[in-house]
Amino acid sequence: MKRKFTKMVVLFLVTALLLSISGCAQNAETKASSESPSNGDTPETAITDIKLEFAKNFNVQYFSNGMKIVTDAMGNKMLLLNEGQTAPIKFDDLPTVTIPLQNTVYTSTTQVGYLRAFNDDALFDSISGVRLTADEWDFDAMKSRMLNGKIVDIGSNTAMTTTYDHEIIQSLNPNLLFLTGGGMNADIEKLVGMLDQSNIPYLIDGSSGEDDYRGTMEWIKFFAAFYNLDQEAETYFEEAMSRIDEVVAKTKDQPKPKVGWAIVAMGKAYVEDAGSKSAKMIRAAGAEYLFDGIGDDTNSVTNITIEELYELLSKGDILINRGMPKYGPDKKSITDQAPALAELEIFAQDRVWQITDNFWNSYHNIDKKYLELAAIFHPDLFPDVEFENFILMPDVAQ
């Protein structure tokens, strides 16, 4: 009996020793894991995906150690690492970039515009190249940096064409390039080919492809992720949506003028489709869209004849010209191409407005665009609005 009891004690002690060793090893592993969150061999835990209300063309996935995986408009993924972090082995196949960003090329003014929301001029130090000249910017943070050479122009942009200077982009060797979505024309195809060949990482910005301007504005969350300003972007966006809701509520039961959104370019007429985000914004701001029935299910523009445009505008109250002043600053720039339009009451009674030159580089204030449209449609309801995104077109510019 004594020998049997001794054997049981020995067995118990051995088992306890093994459990103790195992527990110590687990504790050591846990401690090492908590002390080294950036270790490439450490498994990471995804916390959540970003909350999106309107945008459909991007995603941000957040991890427990501050890493993020962003998905762009074309489904391309990129791992965002904070300073000192290395990519976990399971993400070896993903391209990476260190955040907050440095040495970044923005190919569109709309992308740069999102950074204006955070009232931090230092953010613009992260930009090394952009497709616009210094004199075309309407705010000093970009203008001054381009004038002193900190940011260079990487291409040209006209009413009908866009080009990129490949040599300049290659010389910058950016850590990341944001490419504008919306179709692979010849210039973009050549640019993508160069980027691939030069191993320059890039992501596709699909903000303009959203079918609602509120979704376009929500891309502020995408760009904020690259600067660790995620919470600030969330708060900013929610406050902006509240202001839009106030505009919608205030104009909901008011008489609705008939409003069209179009452009005459090179003698041809193009109207924003009835399913476009511009048409949706007009309706939300308290008007009836004049071109309903044209592209009801598409977020694009449709080419119609000048005669068709004349017929539609003859039934309308207000025209929003989507052409910027630098390409045509007055009604004469339209009627020179389509003389018959000068006969319309809309033109004769000063009811033609156009977007301003800074309309596209101010996507951070889309809520202000809703407010300004509501003030155009219902001036008595919004008498104190100062216009930054829209301007009444004169007969002839001074």
pLDDT at site 157? 65
At 260 the three-state DSSP class reads strand
At 318 the three-state DSSP class reads strand
Q: Shortest CA distance to 59 belongs to which of 45, 69, 44, 67?
A: 69
The amino acid that residue 92 corresponds to is D
Contact (Cβ atoms closer than 8 angstroms) between residue 200 and residue 174: yes
pLDDT at site 29? 39
Q: List the CATH code of the domain at 255-392.
A: 3.40.50.1980
pLDDT at site 183? 62
Whole-model pTM: value is 0.86
Rounded Cα gap, residues 296 and 305, in angstroms: 18
pLDDT at site 159? 52
Task: Give me the average pLDDT of each 10-residue run along the chain (398 residues).
Answer: 36 37 39 37 72 97 96 97 95 97 96 97 98 92 97 78 89 97 79 96 96 98 98 98 98 97 97 98 98 97 98 98 96 97 96 96 96 98 97 96
Rounded Cα gap, residues 130 and 155, in angstroms: 8
One-character DSSP codes across 94-158 = S-EEEES--SEEE--HHHHHHGGGG--GGGGGGEEEESS-GGG-SSHHHHHHHHTTSSEE-EEE-
β-strand 258-265 against 318-321: which pairing, if any?
Answer: parallel
The 10 Å Cβ neighbour count of residue 261 is 25
The boundaries of every CATH 3.40.50.1980 domain in the chain are 46-236, 255-392
SS3 breakdown of the chain: % helix, strand, coil, rounded to 5? 40, 20, 40
Rounded Cα gap, residues 267 and 164, in angstroms: 27
Q: Shortest CA distance to 226 belongs to which of 31, 362, 82?
A: 82
Q: CATH fold of 46-236, please?
A: Rossmann fold (3.40.50)
pLDDT at site 296? 97
